[in-house]
A and B are shown apart, each in its own frame.
Chain A
Amino acid sequence: MDLTYLVLFILCMASATFLTRALPFWLLKDHQHPLILFLGRNLPPAVMTLLVLYSLKHVTWISGSYGLPEVSSLLLVTVIHLCLKNALLSIASGTILYMLWVQGLLFG
């Protein structure tokens, strides 16, 4: 077991990760530029939408459960959040539905 290799490995991965996170802060200095303000307003909604879709990347749509547990649970989250406006409650109910479903406890 080569611990030197592991330590160097960890340092490489840590510095590459930090680089991706820090790059924009190094390169862009003009914080009030209209384009920066525009991206600050418009990127987060777009990224959030993409992260929802990205979290479904391993779903098999044409076989298995056809993505039904994922889509139904996300719908439940949406409905409860719109009706009751309680983030934790909507996340918890969607997750419980999903867990019961994928563990086979719902449609045993």
Chain B
Amino acid sequence: MNTEVIKLTLPVMCGYVPLGIAFGILFVELGYPWYFSSLMGIIIFAGAAQFMAIGLLAAGAGLFEVFISTLLLNARHVFYGLSLIKDFDVTGWRKWYLIFGLTDETYSLLTSLPRSMTNSGVMKLQITGYNQGYWIIGCTLGALFGKEIDINTQGLDFTLSALFMVLTIEQFKASQKLAPFIIAFVVGLAALILISASNMLLFSLVMVLCLLLGQYRLQTRILKAK
């Protein structure tokens, strides 16, 4: 047991376990054996996609449709890799596990840690592993005992919103640059109002990337002019 990692990932645990339980409950209602819920947590490890799977399984969706909808739903993850390319400098299976486990929450923790903590690579692997552990535990508990769990956890997954908030503050303290926050806030707010909930994040990410690329071109042009 690594108390440092547990402390860092505790908010993710509070979010993943109840969400996983909710998934497990819905999943076994489709009539499938409980261990497939765990299996999905082990080899898919994507919250939004797994919840979408409930609907697709119930409808008996075609496999091509499943593949394409998952690609579209998770397209945002492409942006996470973009900013981590130089950071995933471990080799072999370790690197592929880090890439496999790149959920919203894992990405947030990994990019917010001070350099000194993530230099080893072991820390990054542990954070990813613990987060997936919480998710698998949730998926399994929900599928096995879902109906008997009678605690009112409504609102507990707010820990994930709160975690993102705290990490935004930490990122600001570390970078001291306002531009990316302002760009993202304005774009995100507009998207929240104008775009449907399911497309909001992907749309905002594409917009933000375009604006950042524009900023980058402007900067390099100014540097060249000097």
Contact = CB atoms under 8 A, between A and B. Distances in A.
Interface of A: 1, 3, 5-6, 8-25, 28, 31-32, 34-58, 70, 73-74, 77-78, 81-82, 87-88, 90-91, 94-95, 98-99, 101-103
Interface of B: 7, 10-11, 14, 31-32, 36, 39-40, 43-46, 49-50, 53, 56-57, 60, 63, 66-68, 70-71, 74-89, 95-96, 99-100, 102, 104, 107-108, 111-112, 152, 154-156, 158-172, 175, 177, 179-181, 183-185, 187-189, 191-192, 197, 200-201, 204-205, 208-209, 212, 215-216, 219-220
B161 A52 contact: yes
A95 B215 CA distance: 37
A95 B156 contact: yes
A45 B175 contact: yes
A50 B66 contact: no
A41 to B, nearest CB: 7
B204 A50 contact: yes
Contact of B57 (A6, A11, A23, A38): A6
Contacts of B99: 18, 21-22, 25
B216 A38 contact: yes
Contact of B180 (A5, A46, A94, A102): A46
Contact of A102 (B85, B154, B169, B184): B154
Contact of A56 (B77, B159, B161, B183): B161
B10 to A, nearest CB: 6
A44 to B, nearest CB: 4
Contact of A9 (B66, B68, B188): B66
A103 B159 CA distance: 15
Contacts of A24: 78, 81-82, 85
Contact of A42 (B14, B169, B177): B177
A99 B112 CA distance: 26
A74 B83 contact: no
The 6 closest A-B pairs by CB, nearest first: A24-B81, A16-B70, A43-B83, A44-B111, A49-B184, A53-B188
B79 A57 contact: no
Nearest to A53: B188
B197 A9 contact: no
A8 B62 CA distance: 10
B66 A48 contact: no
19 contacts: A5-B60, A13-B44, A14-B44, A16-B71, A17-B44, A18-B100, A36-B82, A43-B180, A44-B171, A47-B79, A50-B188, A50-B201, A54-B188, A58-B197, A74-B162, A74-B165, A77-B166, A78-B169, A94-B158
Contacts of A20: 70-71, 74-78
Given A40-B85, A40-B86, A48-B164, 16 more contacts: A10-B43, A13-B66, A14-B44, A16-B68, A20-B74, A24-B78, A39-B83, A43-B82, A45-B181, A47-B107, A48-B112, A48-B184, A50-B208, A51-B201, A87-B11, A91-B159
